[in-house]
Structure 1
Amino acid sequence: MIRIIAAVLLLVFGGPTAMAADEPPHRILGRDGNIELRLYAPMILAEVEVTGSMRTAGNRGFRPLGNYIFGGNTARSGDGSNAIAMTTPVMQQRSQEIAMTTPVIQQATSDESWRVAFVMPPEWTMDTLPIPDDARVELVEQPERLVAAIRFSGGANEARFMAKTEELRDYLTAQGFEIVSTAMYARYDPPWVPTPFRRNEVMFEVARVG
């Protein structure tokens, strides 16, 4: 069904283009200005639940997940640990419903509770990923999904994310899309990248066209 939906949405957005090399596997089905439609392949997330403000929760979630991918884990063979490459973006989601994709994902499960996740590189599977040493870190499989994203540069503060959330929501509603997730807030660049050049996004999962 989702492949049929994606084909229909090509009529709105245009033809497919390639993804960036360090992002989770996906196809860009089309663009309309600063908005993209993407079909993400199935992926595995390393997730942790934290509390706090958007900024505080992001920092709290990053630490145990960073520790996991940098060697705070036990190989499935029981012999030592494994380092895992980190991909982009870091994502943060305020929701009581659904978590989404990509290297670091943050999802709220209540007003001040968030689900933060890193997307695992595609060469890893549930059978080969090392076991987290921190019991708070959970490995979760995500299915293929269709996502609309709006891109913006500069500082990734909460006010800007909220403004872009409403802009994307209004656009999707006007275009007849059905939104099936809460907003996902994505940061692509490390802190040392100058603020004006940082890439940020808001994303929604889309189920079908009305």
Structure 2
Amino acid sequence: MAIEEPTYDTIVSQAPFELRHYASTLIAQAVVNGDMDAASSKGFRLIADYIFGNNLAADTGQAAKIAMTAPVTMAPQSAKIAMTAPVTIEPQSGDTSLAGAHTWRIHFVMPRRYTMANIPKPNNSAVTLHELPRQYMVVHRYSGFNTVARVQEKTKETLAWAKQQSLQVIGTPQLSRYDPPWTLPLFRRNEIMVEVAAP
């Protein structure tokens, strides 16, 4: 069975880069501390616990399972989080380097059938729900494992392509992963994504 992914239109495609216009999406997120690997694991577990039933459905008042979607996304996060801001992430001291990040925002996009009114509410306060507005994102798609050095290299390539296209970067780069951990590296789909102003 296919896993649902966010809806977007491709505006420019120059493989491995794309400029995409994403529809508004609903996300479940957790902010966690640690290096990239530890934070990814901790954040994934928190949100997986929520979608697998640690929640309260609005209509029945009982726990409800939520279908898994792709990708799982993470981004460096400043220590202070503006929970009402429509921006996906906040820069960490204006730096796009992933090497020094210690606080991360991990999020899953929720299935399209949910709205803030009908989505089950998390029982764990570490998981929060947010609606993201429509966004333009520069995306760099690649395969393989994600080390901090490799993610930083792909981030630099993404930002360079955005500059070459005369696009104004307005967000902090984030890493999106589409496959389960047992997927062979050659077949893994990874994306560096960064929000840009409307072209």
Q: Give, in angstroms, the shift of residue 72 of structure 1.
A: 0.7
Runs of 5+ unmatched residues, structure 2: 82-86, 94-100
Question: Which structure is higher in RCO with an 8 Å CA cutoff and minimum separation 6?
Answer: 2
Structure richer in strand, relative to its length: 1
Report the counterpart of residue 85 of structure 1 in structure 2.
67
Instruction: Give a deviation string over 1:10-57, Cα, whole Å, max 9, x none.
Output: xxxxxxxxxx97211111223112001111111111111100001100
Larger helix fraction of residues: 1
Shift of 1:77: 2.9
Alpha-carbon shift at residue 109 of structure 1 (Å): 5.9
* Structure 1: runs of 5 or more not aligned: 1-19, 101-106
TM-score, scaled to structure 1: 0.82
Q: Which residue identity does 2:107 align to in structure 1?
A: A
Residues of 1 paired with 2:16 and 2:72: CA distance?
19
Q: What do residues 48-83 of structure 1 show as CA deviations (whole Å, max 9, x unaligned)?
A: 110000110011101110010011111113532111
CA contact (8 A) 2:26 2:131 kept: yes
Determine the structure 2 residue equivalent to 1:99: 88
1:153 paired to 2:143: yes
How many residue pairs match? The answer is: 184
Q: Distance in 2 between matches of 1:175 and 1:79?
A: 49
Q: TM-score, normalization: structure 2? A: 0.86
RMSD: 1.9
The alignment partner of 1:177 has SS state of: coil
The one-letter amino acid of 2:13's match is: R
CA distance change for structure 1 residues 21 and 62 in 2, over 3 Å: closer, same or farther? closer
- Check if 1:200 corresponds to 2:190: yes
Q: What is the percent sequence identity of the aligned residues? A: 37
Distance in 1 between residues matched to 2:134 and 2:77, nearest whole Å: 19
2:175: which partner in 1?
185
